[in-house]
Amino acid sequence: MSSITGTDPGRNSAQGTQAVDRAAALVALVVRAEGPISFTELSDESGLARSTTSRLLAALERTQLLERDASGAYVAGPLFALHAAVHDPWPQVARIARPMLEELRDQTGETVHLGVTRGDAVVHIAQADSAYVLGTRDWTQVLVPPHCSALGKVLYAWDCLTVPRGPFERRTDRTVTARGALLAELAETRRRGYAVTIDELEVGLTALAAPVAGGDDHVMAAVGVSGPTARLQDRVDQVGRLLIEQADTLSSLLRRRTHKEGAA
């Protein structure tokens, strides 16, 4: 007797394997596609019935193997980005951070950046543009001296960069150029939880940043907000608290990724 209900375990097993094979084929089509791929394209290329395609795609979305973009087309899901971040972290970390950067942009109205170290420099690996015309520029190709950058001060404060002996380049009358003064400011940055620069890189430009920790709880990046001093100088505390909240959210996501991979 095969079972109490009379069903055939071998047949059920075969059907389960077939479902896995079909789902894997859909994932392969999406991952190998040159761009987002529509539901109709997936159904046609896989040769599956539309109802079967729909059911399998819903399961793949629930398990984060696939996701849909703004147009409803399918792309590789967050699990692929989280796995790839272990080996080539910055493009994937930037992708993971994108929703947080956009939410912070919407909350503040200002340009939001994600910065990491490269050698002795700070580079911007992702940006969400300001809602305002004034204050919008592409910082991803700009190298900014760390001592007059909010991102740089965070990366100094949490030992991602070594503070040079100094003195430092004076970019404006507000730039901190003495090493002792910078070290004191970094201590205050750690106590407060975020860094601030007001008119230090350019007159009229204010920036704030907070640390982002990776799976080992060590700071790996900094998330920052920048804009005209006239719009930000009276909101420093408010924006600083928002930065800490959003940076903690991103840090938690990166920690969960590492814990899941370790458990696996």
Helical segments of 33-162, H only: 39-46, 50-62, 78-84, 89-108, 150-157
Going from the N-terminus, what domains does the chain have, and what CATH number goes with each?
Answer: 9-76 (1.10.10.10), 87-263 (3.30.450.40)
pLDDT class of 4 with cuts at 50, 70, 90: very low
Please name which of 119, 118, 173, 117 lies closest in space to residue 148, comparing C-alpha atoms.
173
Q: What global pTM score does this model have?
A: 0.64
Rounded to whole angstroms, how far apart are CA atoms 126 and 162?
A: 23
**Residue 110, pLDDT score:** 94
pLDDT class of 85 with cuts at 50, 70, 90: low
Task: Give tens-digit pLDDT for 122-168.
Answer: 888 889 998 887 765 677 667 788 999 999 999 999 999 999 987 89
pLDDT class of 1 with cuts at 50, 70, 90: very low
What six digits make up the tokens of 68? Answer: 């849909």
CA separation, residue 24 to residues 20, 29, 259 (Å)? 6, 9, 25
Task: Give tens-digit pLDDT for 193-246.
Answer: 999 999 999 999 999 999 999 877 789 899 999 999 999 999 999 999 999 999
Q: Mean of the per-residue pLDDT values for the chain?
A: 85
Answer whether 206's CB lies under 8 Å from 227's CB: yes
Collapsing DSSP to helix, strand or coil, 180 comes out as: helix
CB proximity list for 145: less than 8 A, separation 6 or greater? 152, 168, 169, 171, 201
Can you tell me the mean pLDDT for 29-40? Answer: 90
Strand 66-68 and strand 205-213: the pairing is unpaired
Q: Which residue has the higher pLDDT, 81 or 41?
A: 41
